[in-house]
Structure 1
Amino acid sequence: MITFSQRKDIDLAQLLELYRHAPWATGRATEDVQQMLAHTDLVLSAWDGDRLIGFGRVLTDYVYRASIWDVVVDPDYQGLDIGTQIMQHILQHPDLKQVELFWLCTRDKQSFYEKLGFTDKEQTGMVWARSKQAHLE
């Protein structure tokens, strides 16, 4: 039976294994993922017994904006609506009921997110990326 949880005390080895199947998340270090979880506002995970099979997380101010990150489902469980259920749990979460706008940064799986009501916005955005070698003084 598949269950869903908001707990943050996820076995990092299982989460890293799940990330291994996502091209945008390969190579993440255990320490970095541990810190990421500690600073994430909401975690939604899917479990088959004690096996982690799906994951998504949210950063938010709980009023105006929320950003959804790292939605991933184990390839063995894709096609079973687990990703849809993770997203529905996030979008309907009581703590997020006031949020006006959910942001999602992705250039793949557009059709999946459009089925959930997301629309592609032709807006100008900016990003600043920290170089691994350079640091601000």
Structure 2
Amino acid sequence: MALEFKVNEPLLPEQLAEVFRLSGLKRPYNDLERMGKMIDQADVLISCWDGDRVVGVARAITDYCYCCYLSDLAVVKEYQKRNIGKDLVQLLQKTLGDQVSIVLLSSEEALSFYPQIGFEQANNAFRIARKH
């Protein structure tokens, strides 16, 4: 069965939590209430499906006219190295249009991945870290 990509397809908190858990991405996947809020408050949610199973997610916050923060890009480990992350980002770009830039904070493990799919590394980012 071919993988299917969907824009703003409703997800259950359990589905998002499973993608995070099986991708290795550090997220609070045991907190389903928080997972639900992460889904509800996202402006764009691109998902990759293998049948009825969600195997990849790009979750973003945007104003749709100037900038977008890609807060999560996660692919289940057994599905990695199949261009799913790249395809999720390309569909996000298509959904947002050419006027919108995409920014993200990378995990240490993914620093070499993002330049391969078209991101330029910026040295001028700042953050105030969450407390939990």
Could you say which TM-score interval applies, normalised by the shorter chain? 0.7 to 0.9
Q: Secondary structure at the match of 2:88?
A: helix
Distance in 1 between residues matched to 2:18 and 2:125, nearest whole Å: 34
The number of equivalent residue pairs is 129
Q: Percent identity?
A: 27
Q: How does 1:1-137 map to 2 (within 5 A)?
A: 1-21=2-22, 22-93=24-95, 95-99=96-100, 101-108=101-108, 109-123=110-124, 125-127=126-128, 129=130, 131=131
Counterpart code for 1:45: S
- 2:46–2:58 CA contact under 8 A, matched in 1: yes
- Aligned-residue RMSD, C-alpha: 1.8
- Structure 2: which 5+ runs fail to align? none
In structure 2, do the counterparts of structure 1 residues 34 and 27 end up closer, same or farther at CA, with 3 Å as the change threshold? closer
In structure 2, do the counterparts of structure 1 residues 8 and 28 end up closer, same or farther at CA, with 3 Å as the change threshold? farther
Per-residue CA shift, 1:62-85, capped at 9, x if unaligned?
122110021111111111111111
Counterpart code for 2:78: D
Q: Secondary structure at the match of 1:53?
A: strand
- Structure 1: which 5+ runs fail to align? 133-137
- Larger Rg, first or second structure (1 or 2): 1
Distance in 2 between residues matched to 1:125 and 1:26, nearest whole Å: 22
Q: Secondary structure at the match of 1:122?
A: coil
Q: Secondary structure at the match of 1:58?
A: strand
Match of 1:135 in 2: none
Counterpart code for 2:63: D
- 1:8–1:37 CA contact under 8 A, matched in 2: no
Distance in 2 between residues matched to 1:27 and 1:88, nearest whole Å: 25
Q: Secondary structure at the match of 1:92?
A: helix
Distance in 2 between residues matched to 1:79 and 1:86, nearest whole Å: 13
C-alpha displacement at 1:11, in angstroms? 2.6
Runs of 4+ in 1 over 3 A off after TM superposition: none
C-alpha displacement at 1:28, in angstroms? 4.3
- 1:43–1:57 CA contact under 8 A, matched in 2: yes
Counterpart code for 2:47: S
